[in-house]
Structure 1
Amino acid sequence: MPRKLHNALTSLAVKGAKPGRHADGGGLHLLVKETGARSWVYRFMLNGKARDVGLGSAAGAGAMSLADARLAATALRLKVKAGTDPLAERKQAAADAAAAAQAAIASSMTFRDAAETYIGANEASWRNPKHRQQWRNTLASYVYPVIGDLPVATIETANVLAILEPIWKDKAETASRVRGRIETVLDSAKARGYRQGENPARWRGHLAQILPARSRLTRGHHKAVPYGDLPALVTNLHGRKATAALALEFTILTACRSGEVIGASWTEIDTDKAVWTIPASRMKAGKEHRVPLSPRALAILEEANAFGSKWLFPGAIGGNLSGMAMAMLLRRMKVDATVHGFRSAFRDWAAECTGYAHEVAEMALAHTIGDKVERAYRRGDLFGKRRRMMDDWAKFCMSGNTGGASVTPLRAYQL
């Protein structure tokens, strides 16, 4: 019967031991690697399998002495005898420490911090600068004053309702966007380990049971000038020399969004072909959009060329025209409408006063047409038909007709 080891090693033996495993007895072993690195290991049996628990280094700075290694092995041996698995205990201790550290981080992470972290990680992928600004503005105006300084881990339904209920009926569109942004920030915070549980800003199955659906509220639309009043408005614009007046008329004639117009540079214009090509990076749908330019639109560009700027419509102090310039012009003209509303006027005119097909007008507005299958087969952009339609639209806007809807006649055939 082999002799049972007990205190088989000495301090001198520990220093001079060759590569391999050296038993001291009672489950304590010295491991020596080929590199000369030395460490203490306690070996025990669990469910018929041998398992090792590292105790620490046996050489170098902070090394565990032979005596201390024996004490540590004795303590583990007693735990194993009592039915405790030292490895499982160590893993649990590490998990508890990690959870405590994460909890400490989460307790100091405010909603404002979580929101700024999310924006910082994602804003580079948001093509529209206006979208990035709206994210920051809505959070600063409606969310941060209420929950900005609260730990993101503690945000509950009551906190979300304190933000949404005051604006849910009167500012339905804004409130809906605010709710969505709160939900996104909280989902991001959960993914990063800053909070747990359900999202209190979730709509389906949660806030939908508390707040009225938006379809039951008055949804805000962009106020539009009736298309029959446009000739008089355009005539009024001709009497104004401001850059904003040229930009507004150009916006009306092209049926484009204000951001697309004020961000336009001369590199996008081909005057010989009378085409304005807006790159995908500046389009809401992320797809390049070609705009046919009517003779009047080209005349506006000829006037704008005298500004000598890289922008079609430059601002007074450099850069491009301010996003508010056209809106303020309408206010001075006492016109109760938004710039975006002129797109609605164009759409109404096309539907009620012309025979142009639905998809021609929709493509002029750079709207997405049909489902995925239809879009897969529709490769063109109906540019020829759109050019004739935009020429007709310009003629109507220039007609000076203030009498209403006796405008461009219906075509005898469908385009």
Structure 2
Amino acid sequence: MNKLTVKGIAALPPGKHSDGAGLWLYKRETGAQWVFRFTIHGRRREMGLGSYSVISLKEARDLAGDLRKAVHADKDPIKEREKQRREEARNIHLLEEVAVDAFESRKAELKGDGKAGRWFSPLELHILPKLGKVPVAEIDQKDIREVLAPVWHTKAETARKALNRLGIVFRHAAALGLDVDLQAAEKARALLGKPRAKKTNIPAMPWRDVPKFYQSLNDGSVTHLALRLLILTGVRSAPLRHIREDQIDGDIWTIPPELVKGRRDATTEFRVPLSSEALKVIEQARRHARAGYLCPNVRRGVISDMTLSMYMRRLGLEYRPHGFRSSLRDWIAECTNTPYEIAETVLGHKVGGAVERAYRRTDYLEQRRQIMEAWAALLTSVGDHS
């Protein structure tokens, strides 16, 4: 063994040169090739290992050592390599691989490029643990029913999203040229039946209790300031957590389109009028700012939605941060004479059909400014709010 040397190989003439124990170097005028000779089941075979320009002498010896072990175990290295290549080719079409590819190709369509992971998470939680390693072409409606049945009635909304995402993945697989059943997801839906669970609203704090809670958020921490600003503005959690100094111009906060739910037009933004109280909170938040973000996380990025929810949970509250939007909407309905269109616009909801919206260009900014000032006055007032 180890008959050849790196320096000696350069001086070798064209021909077949043995390094020992089955490893050979076939040298030609145009280059050199490693070959492993072995005998198995009484049959002598040769297996190419690659070019000398790519595989060094040491690497060739290591490869030959592994192959000798395979022969000793009565395995044909050539057949084992072919089997491995078939397995690798087959793995490219596993459901998890196609799902990831489908997700990557749709990132541009998703809010924040899908960084929050909400598009992919239903698949990751309920589909891929059991079907991820299965070739997508082999999956049928019975397989899908089996994995979703345990959560179809107990976690109906998540299960529904998982099934919808799976349908998209199957369509993506078909576009890749794979032989899949495009109706598998819908067939599984028929097998699963109608979910028993009813959609429940996010628990919202009664508006009369919000001022007391708002005033308790007084330690100046990022969590307290973020919750204050969330309550004051009535926006969703994502734009609040990603609020940046460069989004604020005077008393107007402009939420970029990628953070506006349901608005994927690259030119569509949403303006939020900031009350005098909101401007005070923003000024306090500036001392925590990092990389332009007013609500940074302790280590990196921005404060998480879970941080806000867990804070309320630790206080023994059943309410969720998102529920403050409902609190604001109820107060507007019960205590003001705000027209429906303006009240809905406060929450960033679309009102009317596409044609109606095309002719109605206003976002009621000045009217909303008055509402938000009145809401802030309520939040900072002392006494009985019944």
Does TM-score exceed 0.5, indicating one fold? Answer: yes
State the match for 1:119 in structure 2: 103
Distance across 2 between alignment mates of 1:225 and 1:306: 29
User: Is 1:265 paired with 2:249?
Assistant: no
State the match for 2:341 in structure 1: 359
State the match for 1:201 in structure 2: 185
Structure 1: gaps of 5 or more residues: 1-101, 405-415
State the match for 2:42 in structure 1: none
Maintained 8 Å contact 1:106/1:151: yes
Q: Sequence identity, in percent?
A: 33
Match of 1:244 among 220, 223, 229: 223
Alignment of structure 1 residues 4-15 onto 2, 5 Å: none
Amino acid at match of 2:258: S
Match of 1:213 among 194, 198, 210: 194
User: Is 1:313 paired with 2:295?
Assistant: yes
Match of 1:277 among 245, 254, 257: 254
Residues 89-139 of structure 1 show CA distances to partners (whole Å, capped at 9, x for unaligned) of xxxxxxxxxxxxx9x967861111111121122223323255651233222
State the match for 2:310 in structure 1: 328
Maintained 8 Å contact 2:174/2:182: no
Aligned-pair distance for 1:369?
1.3
Amino acid at match of 1:276: W
Distance across 1 between alignment mates of 2:329 and 2:110: 28
Aligned-pair distance for 1:212?
4.0
Larger radius of gyration: 1
State the match for 2:234 in structure 1: 255
Alignment of structure 1 residues 152-231 onto 2, 5 Å: 152-202=136-186, 206-214=187-195, 217-231=197-211
Aligned-pair distance for 1:195?
2.0
Maintained 8 Å contact 1:255/1:342: yes
User: Is 1:294 paired with 2:271?
Assistant: no
Aligned-pair distance for 1:250?
0.3
Q: 1:347 to 1:211 in 2, by over 3 A?
A: farther
Amino acid at match of 1:314: P
State the match for 1:137 in structure 2: 121
After superposition, the CA RMSD in angstroms is: 2.4
Distance across 2 between alignment mates of 1:242 and 1:107: 49
Q: 1:138 to 1:198 in 2, by over 3 A?
A: closer
State the match for 2:351 in structure 1: 369
Maintained 8 Å contact 1:126/1:132: no
State the match for 2:50 in structure 1: none
Match of 1:340 among 297, 309, 322: 322
Amino acid at match of 1:307: H
The DSSP-based 3-state class of the residue aligned with 1:134 is coil
Residues 258-284 of structure 1 show CA distances to partners (whole Å, capped at 9, x for unaligned) of 11011011000123xx11111112211
Deviates more, 1:131-140 or 1:260-269: 131-140
Distance across 1 between alignment mates of 2:282 and 2:116: 30
Aligned-pair distance for 1:403?
4.7
State the match for 2:380 in structure 1: 398
The DSSP-based 3-state class of the residue aligned with 2:280 is helix
Aligned-pair distance for 1:207?
4.4
Aligned-pair distance for 1:143?
0.8
Aligned-pair distance for 1:244?
0.5
Aligned-pair distance for 1:191?
2.3
Maintained 8 Å contact 1:106/1:194: no
The DSSP-based 3-state class of the residue aligned with 2:271 is strand
State the match for 1:379 in structure 2: 361
Distance across 2 between alignment mates of 1:111 and 1:134: 18
Aligned-pair distance for 1:352?
1.9
Aligned-pair distance for 1:141?
1.5
Distance across 1 between alignment mates of 2:314 and 2:99: 38
Aligned-pair distance for 1:180?
0.4
Distance across 1 between alignment mates of 2:114 and 2:305: 10
Distance across 2 between alignment mates of 1:175 and 1:194: 25
Aligned-pair distance for 1:381?
0.4
Alignment of structure 1 residues 49-128 onto 2, 5 Å: 109-128=93-112
Q: 1:402 to 1:158 in 2, by over 3 A?
A: farther
Distance across 2 between alignment mates of 1:191 and 1:106: 17
Maintained 8 Å contact 2:155/2:197: no
